[in-house]
Amino acid sequence: MNRIVHPRALAVLLALVAGTAGAADPLPAIQQAARAGGNFTGFSAERGAAFYRAKGSDWSCATCHTPDPRQPGRHTITGKAIEPMAPAVNPARLTDAAKVEKWFKRNCKDVLDRECTALEKGDVITYLRSLGR
């Protein structure tokens, strides 16, 4: 018995099997926003590493996420465990644009008392993706 599968249904099924339903790489949209800001020449892992370690008001990214983003962290106030940030050891990291935006918005306000710029976000993502095991 032959059955015809609607292409959209097949795409949804494949996305579910792959575990990426609704997920999208955040970097293209962040890059587009950075270009709109003018003078964009690319993201930098070096700037991202410096930003990750730089102290804001009281904290840095490394305060909760550890100086080595390949290691698990712990929220300084709540004690909640945080999975490693580096995609090399946590492949689910930085794969869902909506989650990335949500956490950058929340964490940048905590660390910097402001939202991160598109350039800062792109630099941090580039840094985290550059790390090997």
Q: Which amino acid is at 60?
A: S
| CATH architecture of the domain formed by 22-130 | Orthogonal Bundle (1.10)
More confident residue, 129 or 19: 129
Please state, in angstroms and as integers, the Cα–Cα distance from residue 34 to each residue in 30, 59, 63, 104, following that order: 6, 25, 26, 15
The domain limits of the chain are 22-130
Q: How far apart are CA 3 and CA 21, in angstroms?
A: 24
Predicted confidence band at 56 (pLDDT cuts at 50, 70, 90)?
confident
Tokens 């989650």 sit on residue: 99
More confident residue, 73 or 16: 73
Mean local confidence (pLDDT), 84-90: 96
pTM here is: 0.81
Instruction: Quote the pLDDT of residue 37.
Output: 86
